[in-house]
Amino acid sequence: MVMASTRVLKHPHGWPVNCVSWNVKSLNHTLKYKKIMLHLKQLNTDIAFLQETHVCTADSASLSKKWSGQIFQSNFQSKSRGVAIMVGRHVQFTASNVKADTAGRFVIVVGKLCTLPVILASVYAPNWDDSDFFSTLFSMISNMSTHSIILGGDVNCVLSFMDRSVTSKVTLTKSAHSIKSFLETYGVVDVWRARNPSTRAYSFYSPVHMTYSRIDYFFMDKNIIHLVKECDYGAIVVSDHAPLCMKMFIPDTHFGFRPWRFNNLLLSDENFVRFINAEIKHFLEVNQTPGMSFCSIWEALKAYLRGQIISYSAHKKRENSKQLKQLNEAILLLDREFCHTASAELAKKRVLLQTEYNTSCTRQAEYLISKSKCGYYEHGEKAGHLLAHQLRQRSAYQTISAVNNDQGIVCTDNEEINSCFTKFYQALYSSDSTAEASDFEGFLKDLNLPVVNPNQITDLERDISAAEISLAIKDMQNGKSPGPDGFTTDFFKKFSDILAPTLLTVFTESLNASTLPLSMRQAIITLLLKKDRAPLECSSYRPVSLLNTDVKILAKVLAGRLEGVIPTVVSSDQTGFVKN
């Protein structure tokens, strides 16, 4: 058995899992089976994605008896085709749903691998151009909004001219276009190609055409490809296909940085608005004590409100689910009664229940639409399924799975990618100037620079007022991304009357102490790929800092004061950043 060797599962980087995708060209003969199992053992296989097992449906139990771990099969009526996913006995995998193709072409298993919710799929595609097969296959893969896909298989087509050894131009088949469309739509990548963007490797040799091709793949969600540490093709032995080996580390906990963000739809809930107003007042009454730093109170207030909002949202979600379930049952019972005793009263009651149900469903759809920033209302009840795909695609697009380091080597590890960007921006923002401070002073002292007059100085340095803060909040744009604390401009606008006086005390204390609270000095830096730029180069990304809304309010107040003074000290030749 492949799992006979003993390994320590615990690892500093998580749980090591070795996956192998291999077209084995029959497991029927005892000698061939032993050879395949021996080779898988030599590859330290934990999960084997096998194709062309040639085990017919009637003999499927015999393969299960030979294997000591979990096995999921899809077999054909004759000794041809057939796929299997074989999971080692020591691998922590729990299956929740299995879909097996009756034609022996694919098997799809939904479950949890260690701590990671996954969809495992083994696929053996027809050896002719059949795009309908892939359409059917991809439609069978569900749970992609909540689970990460790991698909291994022989797709019997190449996806690029680099995947074939011939020098002539390669025309992609309809099947290849169907696969590439799926990868792009769902944020899935070809693991080996992602790690080897400019090199060639092959998994199959055709004696008839005397050419090599790469037709065996591992496809995986882009947002978990950083878990892969190795991915290489082995030698073409035992079978006429090379095994594709992939080593990955599953984290002890399913991680992923998802900063909390306030849901602006809650602001339309009058009960929520009253609840938050009461919580703010209660918190300030209890914590505003003599000698207590206002900055500390503000930081604690944000943390407290975040907890209360999360609790309220979770409770509301449970109540909505309960309500939908009750409405569903009530409508079902009413329909049963109405089919026997039709009456205007029952019909009216049915319409009211349906309206209430539709309203609740619409609120959920609006939440998804607001998250995805898409206007797909016309898709009606399909919006939830569609928008989940939109969110998935956007998340995959924003994920940076590989970059070139300063030596031109492709890095795929998260720490290595962060290190590449750190070095790049340190070099970019480091000054090469060798001038001394005295050089600048000598240059500037002979210039006749305009200055602000004493009245303007007095006006600029006057104390901040609550009216200025309220006006700054009112003038801020809606729909802007929040900073690390997650509170949006819409939240501040809704509770401006009660938050403005508190912000006034915080800003006053901060200016007197010449330092801002910790959260006002933090930012989330996100990297946006520039249009038509190479995604592997650090220089192709534009860094954008997301600041917390409270510090942007302070900046808005100061900018408002400067607006009246800047035109008097800036040359008329300067047109940028000067109002009007």
Confidence of residue 393 (pLDDT cuts 50, 70, 90): low
- pLDDT for the residue 403: 87
Confidence of residue 396 (pLDDT cuts 50, 70, 90): low
130-139 confidence digits (pLDDT tens): 999 999 999 9
Orientation of helix 131-140 relative to helix 174-186, angle to 10°: 30
Which carries the bigger pLDDT value, residue 79 or residue 167? 79
- pLDDT for the residue 364: 62
The one-letter amino acid at 233: Y
Residue range 254-278: mean pLDDT, rounded: 83
Which carries the bigger pLDDT value, residue 365 or residue 539? 539
Contact call for residues 16 and 249 (beta carbons, < 8 A) = yes
Please give the C-alpha separations between residue 57 and each of 29, 60, 74, 86, 137, in angstroms, as whole numbers. 16, 5, 8, 17, 20
- pLDDT for the residue 286: 92
- pLDDT for the residue 5: 36
Q: Please spell the DSSP secondary structure of 533-579, one letter per residue.
A: --TT-GGGEEEEEEE-HHHHHHHHHHHHHHHTTHHHHS-TT--TTS-
3-state helix, strand, coil in the chain (%, to 5): 45, 20, 35
Strands 228-233 and 244-250: antiparallel
The one-letter amino acid at 155: V
Q: Is the pLDDT of residue 374 over 70?
A: no
97-127 confidence digits (pLDDT tens): 999 999 999 999 999 898 889 999 999 999 9
- pLDDT for the residue 356: 78
- pLDDT for the residue 270: 93
- pLDDT for the residue 4: 37
Which carries the bigger pLDDT value, residue 566 or residue 304? 304
Structure tokens at 70: 């979990």
406, 368, 401, 409: which is closest to 387 by C-alpha?
Answer: 368
Residue where the block lists tokens 């200055």: 451
* Per-range mean pLDDT, top range of 337-346, 371-380, 417-426, 523-532: 417-426
Residue where the block lists tokens 């009660």: 498
Q: Is the pLDDT of residue 383 over 50?
A: no
- pLDDT for the residue 390: 54
- pLDDT for the residue 1: 36
| Residues in contact with 12: Cβ distance below 8 Å, sequence separation at least 6, in sequence order | none
* The three-state (H, E, C) secondary structure of 128-150, written as one string: CCCHHHHHHHHHHCCCCCCCEEE
Q: Please spell the DSSP secondary structure of 450-492, one letter per residue.
A: ----HHHHHHHTSPP-HHHHHHHHHHSPTTPPP-TT---HHHH
- pLDDT for the residue 228: 92
379, 341, 402: which is closest to 541 by C-alpha?
Answer: 402
Q: Is the pLDDT of residue 88 over 50?
A: yes
Q: What is the mean pLDDT of the chain?
A: 85
Q: Is the pLDDT of residue 8 over 50?
A: no
- pLDDT for the residue 129: 94
Q: Of 25-39, 272-286, 400-414, 460-474, where does mean pLDDT reach its minimum? A: 400-414
Residue range 309-318: mean pLDDT, rounded: 89
Give the H/E segment covering residue 371: helix 344-372
Residue range 524-544: mean pLDDT, rounded: 88
Query: 388-401 burial, b for 16+ CB within 10 Å, e for fewer?
Result: bebbbbeebeebbb
Which carries the bigger pLDDT value, residue 322 or residue 190? 190
Q: Is the pLDDT of residue 208 over 90?
A: no
Q: Is the pLDDT of residue 437 over 90?
A: no
- pLDDT for the residue 77: 83
Contact call for residues 561 and 459 (beta carbons, < 8 A) = yes
Residue range 165-187: mean pLDDT, rounded: 89
Residue range 340-346: mean pLDDT, rounded: 78
Contact call for residues 119 and 148 (beta carbons, < 8 A) = yes
Q: What is the number of other CB atoms lying within 10 angstroms of the CB of residue 557?
A: 19
Q: Is the pLDDT of residue 31 over 50?
A: yes
- pLDDT for the residue 13: 60
Contact call for residues 153 and 49 (beta carbons, < 8 A) = yes
- pLDDT for the residue 389: 54
Please give the C-alpha separations between residue 533 and each of 180, 414, 536, 538, 552, in angstroms, as whole numbers. 20, 21, 9, 10, 31
Residue range 188-198: mean pLDDT, rounded: 93
Strands 188-190 and 70-74: unpaired
Tell me the three state secondary structure of residue 431.
coil
- pLDDT for the residue 392: 57
Report the DSSP beta bridge partners of residue 395.
none
Residue where the block lists tokens 């340190």: 426
CA distance 227 to 250: 7
45, 49, 48: which is closest to 18 by C-alpha?
Answer: 45
110, 37, 96, 91: which is closest to 67 by C-alpha?
Answer: 37
High-pLDDT (> 70) share of the chain, %:
89
Phi and psi based region of residue 281 (left: phi greater than 0; alpha: psi -120 to 50; beta: remaining): alpha
Q: Is the pLDDT of residue 520 over 90?
A: yes
Q: Is the pLDDT of residue 369 over 60?
A: no
Q: Of 247-251, 351-355, 483-487, where does mean pLDDT reach its minimum? A: 351-355
CA distance 294 to 302: 12
